[in-house]
Amino acid sequence: MIMSSATNNSIAHSPKPVGSQASRRRTVWQRIQQNKALTIGCGLLLFIIVIAIFAPLFSPFDPYVQDLAYRTVPPVWFEKGTWLHPLGTDQLGRDYLSRLFYGARISLLIGISVACISGLIGTTMGMLAGYFGGRADMLVSFLVTTRLSMPVILVALATVAIIGSSLWVVILVLGLLKWDRFAVVMRSATQQVRSMEYVAAAQSAGASTFRILMTEVLPNVMPQLIVIATLEAASAILLEAALSFLGLGVQPPLPSWGLMISEAKAYMFFSFWLIAIPGTALAILIFAINLAGDGLHQLFSPDERA
């Protein structure tokens, strides 16, 4: 929200000397703290990550163990709820809180892996197109146009149905489909960096193209890359949830949040919380990632406030 004038924005490269290394680090830290979107988003995200990592420690029960004597027990805030199962149990008597905790692992795994795969593909394409221009640029633009014209959900659904659905297939298919935004943004970012003097300096020093791309271009397009990666991770998590909801994503008994909603659909009339709990969890996770992404965007580009 509050933007200081002296920044170390890696693209703008402000020539002002910013004093010692220590005080510079302090200004960056201050800006992070003043950035509410970033602090709240990252805080929430960190909370979810900790839960996901330590799911076995926090979970009161095994998320796969069924207890048919305790089916669809409502959460504790309902009259019939019990502290034994704070968020109740599902239609097979599995502890919902434990399933929710383990589900965070799946969503985060999907988000991170898909962003890595599609980020690698899209960044490579975008950087090559932006750096070389000409034919390479035309080819990449064509590939992006083609990819954008195909309906992602439909192609993902069909592919998963043909290959057979599993967690890894979903990750791979989404990763191979969602590189378009990386390519578009990295292309224009690289175009900007290419005309910088330090790139010309590296070229005249005889550095190889690969070296220039890795050591001169990539570090300077990193801010945009990180912002896109957060947005794409969020979108991948939503897509996985939608695929699992339709029964063509992660397969039972894995506790994917989308799958939990799908399995609870038949019980929604009497036990809507079975849907509301994983649905809210998904919304909070996406909210946290988007907020962190917005905050990072503000942090990296303080000048273009809209």
Least Å from the CB of residue 126 to other proteins: 19
Of residues 236-255, which lie at the interface with other proteins (CB under 8 A)?
238, 241-242, 245-248
Nearest by Cα to 131 from 206, 203, 180: 203
Any contact of residue 134 with other proteins (CB under 8 A)?
A: no
Nearest by Cα to 182 from 119, 112, 234: 119
C-alpha Rg value of the chain to the nearest Å = 23
Per-residue mark of binding to other proteins, 210-239 (x: CB under 8 A): ----------------------------x-
Query: Which one of 63-71, 72-80, 82-90, 286-294 is the stretch in contact with other proteins (CB under 8 A)?
Result: 286-294
Structure-token match 């909070």, residue found: 284
Q: Which of 23, 149, 195, 204 binds other proteins (CB under 8 A)?
A: 149
Least Å from the CB of residue 254 to other proteins: 18
CA 173 – CA 28 distance, rounded (Å): 38
Any contact of residue 258 with other proteins (CB under 8 A)?
A: yes
Nearest by Cα to 60 from 107, 104, 96: 96
Any contact of residue 306 with other proteins (CB under 8 A)?
A: yes
How many chain residues are in contact with other proteins, going by CB under 8 A?
A: 41
Least Å from the CB of residue 111 to other proteins: 13
Q: Which of 46, 84, 153, 201 binds other proteins (CB under 8 A)?
A: 153
- By C-beta, is 105 or 147 nearer to other proteins? 147
Residue type, 90: D
CA 258 – CA 157 distance, rounded (Å): 14
Any contact of residue 159 with other proteins (CB under 8 A)?
A: yes
Any contact of residue 3 with other proteins (CB under 8 A)?
A: no
**Residue 212 buriedness (CB in 10 A; 0-12 / 13-18 / 19+):** buried
Nearest by Cα to 221 from 117, 119, 144, 294: 119
Any contact of residue 155 with other proteins (CB under 8 A)?
A: yes
Q: Which of 163, 200, 214, 266 binds other proteins (CB under 8 A)?
A: 163
Any contact of residue 266 with other proteins (CB under 8 A)?
A: no
**Residue 122 buriedness (CB in 10 A; 0-12 / 13-18 / 19+):** buried
Least Å from the CB of residue 189 to other proteins: 20
CA separation, residue 88 to residues 31, 46, 79, 98 (Å): 42, 25, 12, 10
Least Å from the CB of residue 274 to other proteins: 10
Asked if 41 and 289 count as a contact pair (C-beta separation under 8 A), the reply is yes
Least Å from the CB of residue 272 to other proteins: 6
**Residue 109 buriedness (CB in 10 A; 0-12 / 13-18 / 19+):** middle
Per-residue tokens: 171: 């990750």
Contacts with other proteins by CB under 8 A lie at: 142, 145-146, 148-155, 157-159, 161-163, 238, 241-242, 245-248, 258, 261, 265, 268-269, 272, 275-276, 279, 282-284, 286-287, 290-291, 306
